[in-house]
Copies of this chain bind each other. A is one copy, B any other.
């Protein structure tokens, strides 16, 4: 037995019950009674009946008739790291009052799923599409643009689409700030962990890393930089790959790195796991700095220095841009780069402000 949508109360039923025309009901339910100059008595009666019958409008019919869905598609890579949580919170703040609803989808780094999700979103006639870009490939995105649906990249953009709309954050400043911090706390041999993608806001992190080192007169060594493919299946796998890269860097004959700049989430988690597994003391053997949208990453026990990504504000801004482009598509391209927060210093050296002696592990300052 196939279950059908419950035969819900329609506007016609209410009209019949109230002894008025469907159109009248429609106007009243949409708060346009004034415009039509309807009698207050009629309005009340209709509202009362709608309420009593538990009327719930049928959005499909409404969209079809109005030729707009009041919907914005949001395609995430995943829902981890609080990224999505905070981005969606920000979007809601903006979309809600404008009577738009976000349609959330996830591609899990799988191009095939991404295509499917985009298709589904287009079938639902989203009026704009917010999208965390997956690969360097512009193919599927161009299709969206061709259909006249405003596309806004979130968090990065694509080299191959110079006129794409995007809302990103200042990865360059973030990377600089993280690396500079490591230098300031006395580190001289800083390793880099990054993603193996040529997206602009990914690439800029390595560039900033190099520049900051050079400005400080420090060495940039190829064998201290590692780039990893992104993907979902690699959650465990990736941990292994990152670990082996770290083993390579740290296992060699000296000099080996005394700090790690993990340029994004997941890399930082993997790096911590690997370093700890190798028996390194943090920050004695390796200080870790990262850019992250994951609050736990800033936990004192981990002792990592973190530049926080302003995810919620990104969500707000990208929603604003989406609305702007829905109403004024002629304003494309809109390209915004948001500033990121100040670095939160983790533990730095064992002999830092709290005055512990060199060599002592300092997960807890001890209370004796």
User: Nearest B residue to A122 by beta-carbon distance?
Assistant: B56
User: Nearest B residue to A63 by beta-carbon distance?
Assistant: B60
Identify whether the interface residues of A are mostly helix, strand, loop, or mixed: loop
CB distance from A172 to the nearest CB of B (A): 27
Q: Which residues of B contact A17 (CB under 8 A)?
A: none
**Docked complex Cα distance between A106 and B78 (Å):** 16
User: Nearest B residue to A356 by beta-carbon distance?
Assistant: B361
Contact A80 B69 (CB under 8 A): no
Total count of chain A residues near the partner, CB < 8 A: 77
Given A296-B296, A361-B362, 4 further pairs, Cβ under 8 A: A59-B60, A79-B79, A79-B82, A301-B363
Contact B60 A125 (CB under 8 A): yes
Q: Which residues of B contact A88 (CB under 8 A)?
A: 79, 106
Contact B67 A5 (CB under 8 A): yes
User: What are 28 residue pairs bridging A and B, where the CB atoms are less than 8 Å apart in the complex?
Assistant: A1-B327, A1-B328, A3-B326, A3-B327, A4-B67, A5-B68, A5-B69, A6-B148, A6-B149, A56-B122, A57-B123, A58-B123, A59-B123, A60-B125, A64-B64, A79-B88, A88-B106, A269-B296, A276-B301, A276-B363, A279-B365, A281-B363, A282-B301, A282-B364, A285-B364, A296-B297, A303-B363, A362-B363
- Quick one: copies of this chain in the complex? 2
A348-365 interface code vs B (CB 8 A; 1 in, 0 out): 000000000000111111
**Docked complex Cα distance between A79 and B147 (Å):** 31
- Which residues of A does B touch, CB under 8 Å? 1-6, 8, 54, 56-61, 63-64, 67-69, 78-80, 82, 84-85, 88-89, 92, 101, 103-104, 106, 108, 119-120, 122-125, 127, 143, 146-149, 269, 272-273, 276-282, 285, 294-297, 299-303, 326-329, 360-367
